[in-house]
Chain A
Amino acid sequence: MGNKQTIFTDEQLDAYQDCTFFTRKEILRLHGRYHELAPHLVPMDYTNDPECKIPPALIVNMPELKENPFRNRIVESFSEDGQGNLSFNEFVDMFSVLSETAPRELKAIYAFKIYDYNVDNYLCKEDLEKTLNKLTKEELTPEEVELVCEKTIEEADLDGDNKLSFADFENMITRAPDFLSTFHIRI
């Protein structure tokens, strides 16, 4: 036992590296960040997979997420219970998907989930309205919101069911030139 505490075993680190887009150092840093969020709850020693979760209120206050209008949705999408309580696994998962190297397909899936406010696997009009209001801080008039949402659905909806399924969304998002450059968070 050195004076340096082991946080993960080597196998764990290797497994995390296999499962995420992070390097060893980044995973340790992520753990540091995670620990920082709730030092009294999160153990330093993760070698035996302690189960603990951090409530969304704490995570959302990370500087990386604080300014993001979709921060609550991001956290909720990645949490298993849908409430935003994140275990370390989910925490790593979140930043892995949002990392620069994650492929477009993977990002598209989670982006879809994030924008899907009512969790029905479709982006319907109310989802879009919520998204738009978050984006513009409700600066647009209701008519404008209406118009934009209608236009969005009109553009992206392929099967004419007046809501966007994942296929619609993927089709649209894979062509967006800025999607990859904007849908990532550096940690």
Chain B
Amino acid sequence: MPPKKKSDLAISVEEGMEVDATDSGSEDEARRRSRNRRVKPQRKVKCVSDDDEDEEEDEAPRKRGRKKRAKPQDSDEDDEEDKRSVKNKGSKAPRSRAAKVEREDDSEDERETKKKAGKAVPKKEKEEKNLEKKGNVKGKEEKEKDAEKNKKKKKGKLSSSSSDSSSSDSAEESLSEGEIEALKEQVEEKKQLIATLRNKPWRMKRRLLMLKEAQDFVEKFEGALGKGKGRKFYAFKVMMTKKLIKFKRDFENFKTACIPWERKIKEVESHFGSSVASYFIFLRWMYTLNLVLFGFQFGLVVLPEIMMGLPYGSIPRKTVPREEQATAMDLSVLLDFGGYSQYSFLFYGYYNNEKMIGLLKFRLPLSYLLVGIGIFGYSLMVVIKSMARNANEGGDGSDEGDFIFSWKMFTSWDYLIGNPETADNKYASITTSFKESIVDEQENQKDENIHLRRFLRVLANFLILWCLGGSGYLIYFVVKRGQMFAQMNKEDLTWFQKNEVEFVMSLLGLVCPPLFETIAELEDYHPRIALKWQLGRIFALFLGNLYTFLFALFDDVNEKLQNEKLIKNATEWALQEYQANYTAYFNTTAVPPQVVNPADVIRGPCWETAVGIEFMKLTVSDIQVAYLMILIGDFGRAVLVRFLNYCWCWDLEAGFPSYAEFAISDNVLGLVFNQGMIWMGAFYAPGLVGLNILRLLSSMYYQSWAVMACNIPHERVFKASRSNNFYMGLLLLVLFLSLLPVVYTIMTMSPSFDCGPFSGQDKMYNVVMDTINQDLPSFISNIFSYATNPGVIMPAVLLMVLAIYYLNSVSKGYQQANKDLKKKMQIARDEEKNRRNNKDSTNQVMKDLEDLLPNKSLIPPPAEEEEETPIDVVVSKGKKSLKTKQGAKQDGVNLERDVSLAAPNPRAPVTHGPRPRERPPVNTRGPLPGPGRGRGRGGPPR
């Protein structure tokens, strides 16, 4: 409703006007006022005027009421409000008392002492005036409520403070328990309003005003609430809440300031749409996840070993063997993670099996195992949590198809787009999608078309399966060959033969995705669906590669285990020999330990470190390939296209090579699989997580640069609709798949006898068992042994299965209920709509909506137009004063103004049923109550 703004204005007008009124009212009044001014000159201007009004308004309405009777409804309202407040709140305070207090108030001349008592009055006054003036202002209910409250408050206040001034002993008695409760309730209500104010569809001015009122209210009555016993405590509580809110807000500000790359992503988003941005958001999420993992790994494993463990060169596992020492510092060796890096904290083998290290008696082996498992646990938890959150946010996409055109019409434009090129693409894609839907709607698709399409889709899938099988076989072949090469002497092999497996895998990763994409053209899916297919296919490819790689690795490991056994036996035999010889030679049983340089000790192959190195290498080659691809495939191509275009026979930019698009699917999957590798390798190479952090960090900058510099937006821009959860689903799958081999090795393989934190143990998890058995109270180990009993585990598993079944059926039931409720809501809404057709709208939202209609009276009339600046900027200083004058003039004839303010928007067509509101503004004369008044009286809708 237009008058909304007016009412705000009206208040300020009112204030100015009041002064006039009272000035003319009585000299006595004026004198008193001036005295008041003298009394508190140090207050701020606003406060002064407020306070002034306190006093005068205290008096003024009554006087005016008595003398002029200019506002009869004023006192009427008073009465009404009183009654209602009494009735509504059920407060015991009788009206007569309030009246008496007021009379007392009148007669007494010690107003200065009754700050509080007075304060409530002008507020009420204002509210009431607002009420009168606003007519059918929408938010009237609230105002009225406020007024009511203030009224009530005032009464309470008045009574309490007046009795304070006269007899302070009766303070408690005057504020009954019920009143305090009610007051508290109101304060809470106000606080609630403050908290939810930002969700209200009001104009900012009104919001600010409401906020101020609510805050003033809270401020005023909060302190005074706790009269009597709990006062101090209450004041303290209030203060603390305030502090807490402040702190929370600061913290929130701090938190948003801490989210990295917000602007970078925003930039990408506005150029390339939300689908590309979703990749970067995913990347950022991954980065934070890895930071946490790195924190665990580094803080609980790496740092303790470095700080408290034995230094390099003290024991064999921390020393480079003699025969390797010559080349140990070569860069090529270091880059292959041989030499010094192999015997560093980056890998499993470096860690000592000493049970407790350092002053803190840190149990490193135990911590190593728990961190290894904990990384998986934490990742699982985080992934599932964010998946659940995404699913919640996604709402119910169940009834798709109900609103095809409506959704296209109202939600297809991505308001984030700020780039002309993207916008053009978006226009095009919206047009196409509309056309597609129109075609679907007309259902004039030819049958042969469908058959052809089906055939093509089947063909495409066939081709892709063939590709997958081929790549699987290729990897298998290469791995077998690699094992063959491994038997041969290392010096005889070429560089290619040594790195064949990695090379072929990277090559497949490069060639296959574009191939799939080309094949997918046949299918002609919507790009969003195509993206999912593409993701699924590349996923299958990578998975095949990864698992082939893993199986090859396991073969390797088994071989190493055999080898290790031999070496172990050999060393033991050598030790026995040495002892026997020593005994025989010196004829003593006290054999001093053999003194051998740690570099010369015979050692096993340490398969864990080997596995760690493999993962490390794979990750590094992955990074290299990815970065090179961006450099060549995107940047190189862009440079070529850009500069060769000047001297080429066709248009390179628009024609064949063009610029590259950002390949979302490749990048997402690359990220997901890289993460899988990290999860798998982190147990054997604690340094891997650190490496990954560096990778993600650099990739964030590198890729966002590359995408802005060398890529063009997709031809068919599409939204990333909940695909974030799709990414998460992939991640979860990969997490699970990478969990399997690690847990398998931990549970079944026996660790190397001479390296790593578990050396000397039969199985890695024995560390936990030992700790439980030896270092914890015996009853815990008892409990544990009972719990691990098959007799307990089987029922537990059964129970879990049952629980899953139960929860599943419950959730199904809820879904059903949900659906039914939705249907019911729909029906109810329909009914309500039909009923409402002839009636006034009762919906608060509708009222707010009407309230938000442009205020026609604010449009500068043509006459005013001339005064204004040529650029049509409304500098409303002058206007305001004008309004004020008008307001002052119209003071006596309040009603007319009231009604004219309430006049409906003249340009708005008649859209409602016949209602009093529709009356043209011409005949709104006389004391006809504005139609809004009647409605507003109804109280807020519950």
Contact among B194, B399, B911 for A121, CB-based, below 8 A: B911
CB distance from A66 to the nearest CB of B (A): 7
For B854, list chain A residues within 8 Å (CB): 76, 79-83, 119
B845 at the interface (CB under 8 A from A): yes
> Would A23 and B253 count as touching, CB distance under 8 A?
yes
Provide 25 A-B residue pairs closer than 8 Å at the C-beta atoms, listed in order of the A residue: A19-B207, A19-B208, A55-B873, A67-B423, A69-B427, A85-B872, A103-B199, A109-B201, A109-B848, A137-B427, A140-B435, A144-B435, A155-B403, A156-B403, A158-B830, A166-B846, A167-B846, A170-B845, A174-B395, A177-B395, A177-B721, A178-B719, A182-B413, A182-B719, A183-B411
For B394, list chain A residues within 8 Å (CB): 177
B80 at the interface (CB under 8 A from A): no
For A76, list chain B residues within 8 Å (CB): 854
For A23, list chain B residues within 8 Å (CB): 252-253, 256-257
For B848, list chain A residues within 8 Å (CB): 109
Interface residues of B in 415-460 (CB under 8 A from A): 415-420, 422-423, 427, 430-431, 434-435, 437-438, 441
Q: Which of these binds chain A: B320-328, B475-483, B874-882?
A: B874-882
Contact among B253, B407, B880, B909 for A118, CB-based, below 8 A: B909
CB distance from B808 to the nearest CB of A (A): 25
A161 to B834, CA, bound (A): 10
CB < 8 Å A-B pair total:
263
> Would A140 and B434 count as touching, CB distance under 8 A?
yes
> Would B409 and A131 count as touching, CB distance under 8 A?
yes
A175 to B404, CA, bound (A): 11
Contact bitstring B858-875, A, C-beta under 8 A = 1, else 0: 111000000000011111
A18 to B194, CA, bound (A): 7
Q: Which residues of chain A have a CB within 8 Å of any CB of chain B?
A: 14-15, 17-21, 23-26, 38, 41, 50-55, 63-64, 66-70, 76-77, 79-83, 85, 89-90, 92-93, 96, 98, 102-103, 105-106, 109-113, 115, 118-122, 128, 131-132, 135-137, 139-140, 144, 147-148, 151-152, 155-156, 158-159, 161, 165-167, 169-186
Known A-B contacts A135-B427, A147-B441, A182-B413; A121 and B833 likewise in contact (beta carbons under 8 Å): no
Q: Which residues of chain B have a CB within 8 Å of any CB of chain A?
A: 5, 194, 197-201, 203-205, 207-208, 211-212, 249, 252-253, 256-257, 266, 269-270, 274, 393-397, 399-400, 402-407, 409-420, 422-423, 427, 430-431, 434-435, 437-438, 441, 719-722, 826, 829-830, 832-834, 837, 843, 845-846, 848-850, 852-856, 858-860, 871-877, 880, 907-909, 911
> Would A159 and B850 count as touching, CB distance under 8 A?
no
**The 8 A-B residue pairs with the shortest CB-CB distance in the complex, in nearest-first order:** A82-B854, A89-B204, A67-B423, A159-B833, A93-B204, A81-B858, A51-B876, A19-B207
> Would A144 and B438 count as touching, CB distance under 8 A?
yes
> Would A121 and B721 count as touching, CB distance under 8 A?
no
CB distance from A103 to the nearest CB of B (A): 6
A17 to B211, CA, bound (A): 11
> Would A19 and B430 count as touching, CB distance under 8 A?
no
A165 to B658, CA, bound (A): 47
For A14, list chain B residues within 8 Å (CB): 249
> Would B441 and A111 count as touching, CB distance under 8 A?
no
Known A-B contacts A15-B211, A98-B415, A178-B721; A136 and B409 likewise in contact (beta carbons under 8 Å): no
For B435, list chain A residues within 8 Å (CB): 140, 144
> Would B212 and A15 count as touching, CB distance under 8 A?
yes
> Would A182 and B409 count as touching, CB distance under 8 A?
no
> Would B198 and A182 count as touching, CB distance under 8 A?
no
Residue of A nearest to B879 (CB): A51
CB distance from B767 to the nearest CB of A (A): 47
CB distance from A158 to the nearest CB of B (A): 5
> Would A82 and B855 count as touching, CB distance under 8 A?
yes
> Would B855 and A80 count as touching, CB distance under 8 A?
yes
> Would A92 and B434 count as touching, CB distance under 8 A?
no
CB distance from A39 to the nearest CB of B (A): 13
For B720, list chain A residues within 8 Å (CB): 181
> Would A69 and B413 count as touching, CB distance under 8 A?
yes
A110 to B87, CA, bound (A): 38
For B833, list chain A residues within 8 Å (CB): 158-159, 165, 167
For A25, list chain B residues within 8 Å (CB): 253, 256-257
A122 to B561, CA, bound (A): 77
A55 to B685, CA, bound (A): 62
> Would A167 and B197 count as touching, CB distance under 8 A?
no
> Would A115 and B402 count as touching, CB distance under 8 A?
no
> Would A186 and B266 count as touching, CB distance under 8 A?
yes
CB distance from A116 to the nearest CB of B (A): 9
Residue of A nearest to B834 (CB): A159
Known A-B contacts A15-B211, A111-B410; A175 and B871 likewise in contact (beta carbons under 8 Å): no
For A177, list chain B residues within 8 Å (CB): 394-395, 397, 400, 407, 721-722
For A119, list chain B residues within 8 Å (CB): 853-854, 907-908
Known A-B contacts A137-B431, A165-B833, A177-B394; A172 and B406 likewise in contact (beta carbons under 8 Å): yes
CB distance from B919 to the nearest CB of A (A): 18
A19 to B193, CA, bound (A): 10
A169 to B410, CA, bound (A): 9
> Would B399 and A175 count as touching, CB distance under 8 A?
yes
Residue of B nearest to A80 (CB): B855
New A-B contacts (12) at CB < 8 Å, excluding given A85-B873, A102-B199, A186-B269: A18-B198, A19-B208, A25-B256, A109-B849, A151-B404, A155-B402, A155-B404, A158-B829, A159-B833, A166-B845, A167-B829, A177-B721
A136 to B412, CA, bound (A): 11
With a 10 A CB-CB cut-off, give which of B402, B411, B431 has the most chain A CB atoms: B411
For B400, list chain A residues within 8 Å (CB): 177
A144 to B430, CA, bound (A): 14
For A148, list chain B residues within 8 Å (CB): 405, 409, 434, 437-438
> Would B409 and A68 count as touching, CB distance under 8 A?
no
> Would B430 and A135 count as touching, CB distance under 8 A?
yes
For A156, list chain B residues within 8 Å (CB): 403, 406
For A109, list chain B residues within 8 Å (CB): 201, 845, 848-849, 852
For A51, list chain B residues within 8 Å (CB): 874-877, 880
Contact among B409, B438, B441 for A135, CB-based, below 8 A: B409
CB distance from A152 to the nearest CB of B (A): 4
Contact among A66, A158, A166, A186 for B849, CB-based, below 8 A: A166
CB distance from B272 to the nearest CB of A (A): 13
For B266, list chain A residues within 8 Å (CB): 186
With a 10 A CB-CB cut-off, give which of A25, A90, A171 has the most chain B CB atoms: A171
> Would A38 and B438 count as touching, CB distance under 8 A?
no
Contact among B269, B415, B829, B846 for A171, CB-based, below 8 A: B829
> Would A182 and B208 count as touching, CB distance under 8 A?
no
CB distance from B346 to the nearest CB of A (A): 41
With a 10 A CB-CB cut-off, give which of B843, B872, B880 has the most chain A CB atoms: B872
With a 10 A CB-CB cut-off, give which of A18, A76, A137 has the most chain B CB atoms: A18
A129 to B603, CA, bound (A): 81
A101 to B413, CA, bound (A): 19
A80 to B403, CA, bound (A): 32
For B427, list chain A residues within 8 Å (CB): 69, 135-137, 139
CB distance from B93 to the nearest CB of A (A): 32
> Would A106 and B199 count as touching, CB distance under 8 A?
yes
A159 to B853, CA, bound (A): 23
For B850, list chain A residues within 8 Å (CB): 121
A54 to B871, CA, bound (A): 9
CB distance from A128 to the nearest CB of B (A): 7
For A115, list chain B residues within 8 Å (CB): 410
A170 to B376, CA, bound (A): 43
> Would B418 and A63 count as touching, CB distance under 8 A?
yes
> Would A173 and B829 count as touching, CB distance under 8 A?
no
> Would A173 and B431 count as touching, CB distance under 8 A?
no
> Would B410 and A176 count as touching, CB distance under 8 A?
yes
> Would B414 and A182 count as touching, CB distance under 8 A?
yes
A179 to B104, CA, bound (A): 60
Known A-B contacts A68-B417, A121-B850; A135 and B412 likewise in contact (beta carbons under 8 Å): yes
Known A-B contacts A80-B858, A81-B858; A41 and B873 likewise in contact (beta carbons under 8 Å): yes
> Would B431 and A176 count as touching, CB distance under 8 A?
no
A182 to B876, CA, bound (A): 35
